[in-house]
Amino acid sequence: MKLIDLRSDTLTKPTAGMRKAMYAAEVGDDVYGEDRLVNELQIRVAEMLGKEAGLFVPSGTMSNQLAIKSQTQPGDEVICEYTSHLFTYEGGGPAVLSGVQVHPLKGNHGILDAVQISESIRPKDHHFAQTSLIALENTHNRGGGVVYPLPIIEQISDVAKDHHFTMHLDGARLMNAVIACGVDPSAYAELFDSVSVCFSKGLGAPVGSVLVGSAELIEKAHRFRKMFGGGMRQVGILAAAGHYALDYHIERLAEDHHRARLLAETCNELGVLEDDLSWTQTNIVVLSFPKGNTAQMEAAFMDEGLQVSVVDDQLIRLVTHLDFDDDQLDQSREILKKVLG
Ligand code: TLP
């Protein structure tokens, strides 16, 4: 039985076209700054997002951590959402790598608002850690792939400006947000000092992210990338995959969103969708079960050939992606009905 894998959009394999581009890639040593495709990719992403400079890094995690390191001092505080990737899934990186403490706030499907952020800013008093960075995530992974509404980010950005804080965007799935709501990526990016974009999620590349920001910020991040062991050598091979993803895999994200919507409709009919259909906005579908049932449900789906991802003891996540087609969609809906019906 061929398994259908909906655990994550990170699981996609490079397509034949992408592999061809990687095979043909001219390479240089990027630690010397001599890999043309890497240099071009950094400029390309920076221009797409309206920023001065970009830095190619191995992962979304490193990109987020470099953004924190480059914009904080030890003892500072970073405000973020309590299920955000940089707080939940990055191994305590902010504390270890930047010596900052994270102030996690509970959002609505991962979305924070300006009022709760204002209320959580520490007074200027020597008892408190000083807030210096606000980090948001768009789309919000644990929020169920929800798109951050631009007006809310604008209000949060006003708060940040009033207090002279910097703003970082974990845009691992920024292109999903762009396709879902038709907002230009630069309209999001102009509200942030740094933005991280991943090629290895919905865009289907095997590896790689780019951090963008001002030339000064990226210069600092470049130094820290070396310190974190992220200086790479002949990585034009990977940059070629990034270029290919930008050329061919952005518009098609709409297909992933459509398939996710159909999966969500089935889950809704079966009474297991976490919330109403309006929260399934991109390629992530979240299912909710009575407490303690998710390991058993995961096994039941697996027995039928569907791999899902257990988020916690109540939630299961399905993520649509480049390697998930209409036939697999039909089969998945049948499996959901069989297991849950
Ligand atoms: N997310 C992965 C897991 O780590 C949970 C996934 O399967 O969704 N930001 C966001 C919003 C992410 O979802 C991820 C990966 C990252 C950053 C980290 O990217 P990598 O894995 O490249 O370090």
Residue nearest to atom 5 of ligand 1 (CA): 89
Three state DSSP letters for 1-22: CCCEECCCHHHCCCCHHHHHHH
Euclidean distance between CA atoms 69 and 226, whole angstroms = 13
**If you measure from the C-alpha of residue 14 to the centroid of ligand 1, how many angstroms do you get, rounded to a whole number?**
18
pLDDT > 90? residue 251: yes
Residue nearest to atom 16 of ligand 1 (CA): 60
Task: State which ligand 1 atom lies nearest to the alpha carbon of 139.
Answer: 11
**If you measure from the C-alpha of residue 192 to the centroid of ligand 1, how many angstroms do you get, rounded to a whole number?**
20
Residues in contact with ligand 1 (CB, 6 Å cut-off): 8, 10, 59-61, 85, 89, 137, 141, 170, 172, 198, 200
Domain 252-340: CATH class, spelled out: alpha beta
- The pLDDT, as a whole number, for residue 57 is 98
Q: Can 16-248 and 252-340 be said to share one CATH topology? A: no
Three state DSSP letters for the chain: CCCEECCCHHHCCCCHHHHHHHHHCCCCCHHHCCCHHHHHHHHHHHHHCCCCEEEEECCHHHHHHHHHHHHCCCCEEEEEECCCHHHHCCCCHHHHHHCCEEEEECCECCECCHHHHHHHCCCCCCCCCEEEEEEEECCECCCCCECCCHHHHHHHHHHHHHHCCEEEEEECCHHHHHHHHCCCHHHHHCCCCEEEEECCCCCCCCCCEEEEECHHHHHHHHHHHHHCCCCCCCCHHHHHHHHHHHHHCCCCHHHHHHHHHHHHHHHHHCCCECCCHHHCCCCEEEEECCCCCHHHHHHHHHHCCEECEECCCCEEEEECCCCCCHHHHHHHHHHHHHHHC
Q: Say which residues have a Cβ less than 8 Å from residue 259's Cβ, sequence separation at least 6.
A: 283, 320, 324, 326, 329
**If you measure from the C-alpha of residue 61 to the centroid of ligand 1, how many angstroms do you get, rounded to a whole number?**
7
In the chain, domain spans: 16-248, 252-340
| Mean pLDDT score of the chain | 97
**If you measure from the C-alpha of residue 81 to the centroid of ligand 1, how many angstroms do you get, rounded to a whole number?**
15
> What strands lie across the sheet with 284-288, from one edge to the other?
284-288, 315-319, 309-310
**If you measure from the C-alpha of residue 172 to the centroid of ligand 1, how many angstroms do you get, rounded to a whole number?**
7
**If you measure from the C-alpha of residue 162 to the centroid of ligand 1, how many angstroms do you get, rounded to a whole number?**
31
Please name the amino acid found at residue 176: N
Convert the pLDDT of each residue in 5-64 to its tens digit.
999 999 999 999 999 999 999 999 999 999 999 999 999 999 999 999 999 999 999 999
Contact 313/292 with Cβ under 8 angstroms?
yes
pLDDT > 90? residue 341: no
**If you measure from the C-alpha of residue 286 to the centroid of ligand 1, how many angstroms do you get, rounded to a whole number?**
16
> What strands lie across the sheet with 194-198, from one edge to the other?
53-57, 209-213, 194-198, 166-171, 130-137, 76-81, 101-105
Residue nearest to atom 8 of ligand 1 (CA): 8
Residue nearest to atom 7 of ligand 1 (CA): 8
pTM of structure: 0.98
Residue nearest to atom 18 of ligand 1 (CA): 60
Residue from 7, 61, 168, 228 to probe ligand 1 pocket by mutation (most atoms less than 8 Å from CB):
61
**If you measure from the C-alpha of residue 20 to the centroid of ligand 1, how many angstroms do you get, rounded to a whole number?**
26
Residue from 10, 97, 137, 199 to probe ligand 1 pocket by mutation (most atoms less than 8 Å from CB):
10
How far, in Å, are 39, 48, 163 from residue 56 at the CA level? 8, 15, 30
How far, in Å, are 88, 117, 136, 185, 213 from residue 78 at the CA level? 14, 11, 10, 24, 18
Q: Which residues pair with 133 in a beta bridge?
A: 78, 166
Task: State which ligand 1 atom lies nearest to the alpha carbon of 89.
Answer: 4
Convert the pLDDT of each residue in 254-297 to its tens digit.
999 999 999 999 999 999 999 999 999 999 999 999 999 999 99
How large is the average pLDDT for residues 136-143? 98
How large is the average pLDDT for residues 99-122? 97
Record: fold of 16-248 = Aspartate Aminotransferase; domain 2 (3.40.640)
**If you measure from the C-alpha of residue 244 to the centroid of ligand 1, how many angstroms do you get, rounded to a whole number?**
21
- The pLDDT, as a whole number, for residue 1 is 78
